[in-house]
Amino acid sequence: MATGLLRSAFVVGYTGATGKDLVKELAKSKKFEQLVLIGRRKVEYEDQELQKFEQRIVDFQKLSDFKDSFKDFDVGFCCLGTTKKDAGSAEAFRRIDFDYVHELATYAKEGGVKHFHYVSSAGADKNSSFLYARVKGEIEEALAKLSFDRLSIYQPKFLKRKEQARGGEKFIGILLKPLELVSPQTVVTPCDLLARAMINNCETTPNSSLEIIHNNGIYKLDSPKPE
């Protein structure tokens, strides 16, 4: 997709670690004429550039009432996701990571989105015995069946945020530090790097309508070859 065609995009999951960096990087890039943040609550930004973005508040439990919020966009970025611990139960986790994502993607497709980006995870596998990996694999398959003109699924490794890491993340980060120093792309994915990769990928030409982008590919997209 050429730069001149980047007219409009929405972001879902803009309050999470990757979503926060994606919004910041989109503001820097100025690649889209219109950018809309769609979520369950309004964020009061201090940065004047971020204040310019429209925010549409929706109720994910009644998303069908808000289907028009996803209409008439060229690109959709979905960073929505949680963990079983944060969600409170396996059922709540699946509701967010599968049901909400699938429903909003369906409305996005019906509303005209041509290129849909989804942040999944390394190890996603619908046949996994682990809940997190299994649900990620299931939603990847479900999104593929929606037949977007272009679907980009990102499978990052351990997400490294700029802000203060949470307890468990901090511990894992310490364990991974030696490997990160030697070969970062094999163990970690900085959230801001992933955000830039997603934006840069809007201007690449895919080999097929569905692309699964592993961590090495994410790093490469952050440093695109000069034309």
pLDDT by position in tens, the chain (length 227): 444 447 999 999 999 999 999 999 999 999 999 999 999 999 999 999 999 999 999 999 999 999 999 999 999 999 999 999 999 999 999 999 999 999 999 999 999 999 999 999 999 999 999 999 999 999 999 999 999 999 999 999 988 876 555 444 554 555 555 555 545 566 689 999 999 999 999 999 999 999 999 999 999 999 765 44
CA dihedral in degrees (139, 105, 206, 137; nearest 10)?
0
Q: How many whole angstroms separate alpha carbon 162 and alpha carbon 164?
A: 7
**Strands laid side by side in the 115-119 sheet:** 54-57, 34-39, 8-12, 75-78, 115-119, 150-154, 210-213
**Phi, psi (degrees; rounded to nearest 5) at 86:** -70, -35
Per-residue pLDDT at 178: 53
Please identify every residue annotated as catalytic. Answer: 132, 136
Q: What distance in Å separates the CA atoms of residue 49 and residue 157, rounded to the nearest whole number?
A: 30
CA distance 164 to 170: 8
pLDDT of residue 183: 53
In whole angstroms, what separates CA 158 from the centre of its chain? 14
CA distance 121 to 34: 28
Sequence-separated (6 or more) residues with CB below 8 Å from residue 161: 17, 21, 169, 190, 191
Q: According to the model, what pLDDT value does residue 99 have?
A: 98
pTM: predicted TM-score of the whole model, two decimal places: 0.89
